[in-house]
C-alpha cells in the first residue's frame, strides 16, 4: 500500500519521500540516511560533502542566465521522531514506515510518518535532480538529529555552506511564512534513593494505565491545551496515596522530550483486597472526569487498572511524596503569549518524561521561549520546584531563538510569489517550536531566512499526517521562489 504514495503529485517529491520512509532514521540513528543522501548527490554528479557532525551539503550550479543570483540554501533535517501506539508492533531501528493514502492525507499505520521533515528533505532532493528548473546557485543542506537536540544545526560552521539566503522547509502550515521561532532548554532531573523492600503482608499490586491521549509536538501543539499524561497520572496518584494508603512502585510516562506525553503507566500497591472495588470505582470516576474536562480537546482518554504480581520493591515513601508534590506543582503548558503576535505562544514547558528504574527516577522537561530572559526565568522556576523536592537538577542542551525580521528581502519575494500563484497574501508568523534557523543564524551571521512547508498535522505522534494538495502548493511556491529570488 505504501508504494501508492509514489503516484501522488508532484511525483518527483513523493518518490523521494517514499525512499525516505524505507530508511530507518530515528534521531540518533543517522548513518544509513546520511549515506543515502551522500550517494544521491554523487550519483547526480554534484559536489557533495559531509562535515564532522554528519551534516551533508549538495551543491547545484545555477541554470544558464541565473549565475549572478544569490546562492540559496535549502535546509531540512534527516531524522524523524520515533513514536508508535503501544499496541503497534514496530521497530524504528529497522522497520520501514508503512505510509498510506487516506483521502487528501498521507498517514502511517500506528506510527509517526516522518513527514516532519521528510517532505522538506524530499523537496530539496527533487530540486537537485530536476534539470528543468530555473534558479541561481543552490546548496541543499541536510542536517542531523534535529529532534533530540538540534545537533546538526549546532555543528554548522561558516565555509561548509556559503549561501546568503536560507529557506528552511520544516514549517507545518500551508499559506504561512515563518520569520521567527522560540529557543529551548533541556532540564534533566534526578531523584536517587535506596529501594524500599518492605511490603506489608496482604497488600495487592495494581498497574494503572492512562492512554488514548492525542499528544503531539510540544511546540506546535502546546497551545491546543491537550492533556499531559504525566500530569493526569500524578493527579490521581496524590489522591490514591492520601485516601487509599497507596504506595508507588514504578512510573513510566512519556517517551520523548519534545512530544506531549500521550501515555503513562504506574504500578502501585494498596492494603488488601477490601479496597479494590472502591479503587476501581475511583479510577472510573477519574476517567469520566478527565474526559469531561478535556471534552473539546481530547477524544477518548482511557484510564484503566489491572491486578498484577506484587513488585519486589517500592519507592521510599518520602521520595514518593516529594515526587508527587513536585510533579503536581511543576509548570506545564503555556506560560505566556507573544504581545506582537498574540496568537503565538511566547513561553511554555513540557513535562515530557518521568521514568523510574532501580534507585532512580529520571525526569526530562523542555522549556521554550522566544525571549531568552523569559526562558531563563522559566528554567529557574522549574529548577526551584524540583530542588525543593530534593532532586538533582541539571541543564542540558540549550539553543537560541530566531528574532523576526519583517523587512527581510526573501520574505518580500515570497509574499509576492505567493500572491501571484494563489491570489492570497500569506500569513507572516513566529513559531513557538524550535527551528534550526536560529542556531544556524547564530553560527553563520547575516543569513536572510524564511521557513515554510506544507500542512502537517499532529507531528511527533502516531496521528501525524501530511496534506497532499498542500505538498503540491509547497512545491510550486518553492520552485517559483527559486526562480524569482
Q: Give yes or no: 102 in active site.
A: no
Q: Is the peptide bond before 195 cis (omega within 30 degrees of 0)?
A: no
Kindly tell me if the per-residue pLDDT of 185 is higher than 60: yes
pLDDT value at 159 more than 80: yes
Instruction: Examine the pLDDT at 330 and tell me if it is beyond 80.
Output: yes
Give residue 397's pLDDT.
84
pLDDT at position 276 over 90: no
Mean pLDDT of 226-238: 98
Task: Give the Å distances, CA to CA, from 195 to 249, 314, 315, 364, 389.
Answer: 9, 6, 6, 21, 18
Whose grid coordinates read 512510573?
A: 251
Per-residue pLDDT, averaged over 305-328, amounts to 97
Please name the residues in contact with 39: beta carbons below 8 A apart, sequence gap of 6 or more: none
With bands split at pLDDT 50, 70 and 90, how would you rate the model's confidence at 414? very high
Residue 86 pLDDT = 86
Write down how long the chain is.
Answer: 485
Mean pLDDT of 76-91: 94
User: In terms of C-beta density within 10 A (0-12 exposed, 13-18 middle, 19 or more buried), how is residue 110 classed?
Assistant: middle
Q: Residue 356: enclosing H or E segment and its boundaries?
A: strand 345-357
Percent over 90 (pLDDT), the chain: 88
321 CB-near residues (< 8 Å, 6+ apart): 241
Question: Which of the four pLDDT bands, split at 50, 70 and 90, describes residue 191?
Answer: very high
Return the pLDDT at 2.
42
Backbone angles phi, psi at 419, to 5 degrees: -65, -40
What's residue 1's pLDDT? Answer: 38
pTM over 0.85: no
Q: How far is CA 405 from CA 53, 166, 168, 434, 444, in A?
A: 29, 13, 15, 17, 16
Cell of 347: 513561553
Q: How many other C-beta atoms lie within 10 A of the C-beta of residue 317? A: 12
Task: Describe the crossing of helices 468-484 and 409-422 by its angle, rounded to 10 degrees.
Answer: 130
| CATH 3.30.70.360 domain position(s) in the chain | 185-399
> What contacts 355, CB < 8 A, 6 or more positions away?
251, 252, 253, 254, 361, 362, 363
Is 146 considered catalytic here?
Answer: yes
Q: Are 463 and 261 in contact (CB under 8 A)?
A: no
Catalytic choice (51, 116, 139, 146): 146
pLDDT tens column, 96-118? 999 999 999 999 999 999 999 99
In the predicted model, what is the mean pLDDT of the chain? Answer: 95
Catalytic residue among 51, 79, 151, 203: 79
pLDDT digits (tens, 9 = 90+) for 244-254: 899 999 999 99
Residue 3 has pLDDT above 60, yes or no: no
- All CATH 3.40.630.10 domain ranges of the chain, comma separated, are 2-182+401-484
What is the CATH T-level fold of the domain 185-399, as seen in this structure?
Alpha-Beta Plaits (3.30.70)
Q: Is the pLDDT of residue 119 over 50?
A: yes
Buried b (16+ CB within 10 A) or exposed e, 46-68: bebebbebbbbbbbbebbeebee
User: Looking at residues 419-433, what average pLDDT do you find?
Assistant: 94
Q: What is the mean pLDDT of residues 364-391?
A: 96
Domain 2-182+401-484 has CATH 3.40.630.10: yes
Amino acid at each position: 500500500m505504501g508504494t501508492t504514495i509514489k503516484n501522488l503529485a508532484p511525483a518527483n517529491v513523493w518518490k523521494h519521500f517514499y525512499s525516505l520512509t524505507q530508511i530507518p532514521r530515528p534521531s540518533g540513528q543517522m548513518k544509513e540516511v546520511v549515506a543515502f543522501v551522500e550517494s544521491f548527490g554523487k550519483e547526480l554528479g554534484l559536489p557533495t560533502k559531509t562535515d564532522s557532525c554528519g551534516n551533508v551539503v549538495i551543491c547545484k550550479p545555477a541554470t544558464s542566465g541565473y549565475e549572478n543570483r544569490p546562492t540559496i540554501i535549502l535546509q531540512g533535517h534527516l531524522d524523524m521522531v520515533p513514536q508508535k501506539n503501544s499496541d503497534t508492533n514496530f521497530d524504528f531501528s529497522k522497520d520501514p514506515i508503512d505510509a498510506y493514502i487516506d483521502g487528501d492525507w498521507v498517514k502511517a499505520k500506528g506510527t509517526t510518518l516522518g513527514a516532519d521533515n521528510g517532505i522538506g528533505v524530499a523537496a530539496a532532493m527533487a530540486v537537485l535532480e530536476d534539470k528543468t528548473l530555473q534558479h541561481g546557485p543552490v546548496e541543499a543542506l541536510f542536517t542531523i538529529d534535529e529532534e533530540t537536540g538540534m545537533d546538526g544545526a549546532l555543528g554548522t560552521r561558516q565555509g561548509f555552506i556559503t549561501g546568503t539566503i536560507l529557506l528552511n522547509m520544516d514549517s507545518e502550515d500551508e499559506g504561512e511564512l515563518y520569520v521567527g521561532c522560540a529557543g529551548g532548554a533541556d532540564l534533566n532531573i534526578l531523584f536517587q534513593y535506596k529501594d524500599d523492600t518492605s511490603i506489608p503482608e496482604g497488600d495487592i499490586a495494581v498497574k494503572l494505565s492512562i492512554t488514548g491521549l492525542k499528544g503531539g509536538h510540544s511546540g506546535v501543539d502546546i497551545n491546543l491545551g491537550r492533556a499531559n499524561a504525566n500530569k493526569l497520572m500524578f493527579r490521581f496518584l496524590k489522591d490514591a496515596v492520601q485516601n487509599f494508603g497507596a504506595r508507588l512502585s514504578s512510573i513510566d510516562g512519556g517517551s520523548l522530550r519534545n512530544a506531549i506525553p500521550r501515555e503513562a503507566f504506574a504500578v502501585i500497591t494498596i492494603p488488601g483486597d477490601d479496597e479494590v472495588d472502591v479503587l476501581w470505582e475511583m479510577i472510573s470516576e477519574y476517567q469520566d472526569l478527565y474526559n469531561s474536562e478535556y471534552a473539546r480537546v481530547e477524544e477518548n482518554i482511557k484510564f484503566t487498572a489491572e491486578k498484577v504480581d506484587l513488585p519486589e520493591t517500592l519507592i521510599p515513601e518520602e521520595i514518593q511524596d516529594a515526587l508527587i508534590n513536585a510533579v503536581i506543582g511543576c509548570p506545564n503548558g503555556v506560560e505566556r503569549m507573544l504581545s506582537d503576535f498574540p496568537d503565538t505562544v511566547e513561553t511554555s514547558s513540557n513535562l515530557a518524561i518521568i521514568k523510574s528504574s532501580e534507585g532512580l527516577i529520571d525526569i526530562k522537561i523542555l522549556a521554550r521561549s522566544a525571549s531568552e530572559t523569559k526562558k531563563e526565568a522559566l528554567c529557574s522556576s522549574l529548577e526551584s520546584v524540583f530542588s525543593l523536592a530534593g532532586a538533582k537538577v541539571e541543564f542540558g542542551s540549550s539553543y537560541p531563538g530566531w528574532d523576526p525580521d519583517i523587512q527581510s528581502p526573501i520574505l518580500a519575494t515570497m509574499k509576492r510569489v505567493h500572491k501571484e500563484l494563489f491570489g492570497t497574501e500569506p500569513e507572516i508568523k513566529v513559531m513557538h517550536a524550535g527551528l534550526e534557523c536560529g542556531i544556524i543564524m547564530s553560527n553563520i551571521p547575516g543569513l536572510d531566512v524564511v521557513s515554510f512547508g506544507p500542512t502537517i498535522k499532529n507531528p511527533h505522534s502516531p496521528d501525524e499526517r501530511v496534506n497532499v494538495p498542500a505538498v503540491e502548493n509547497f512545491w510550486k511556491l518553492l520552485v517559483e521562489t527559486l526562480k524569482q529570488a
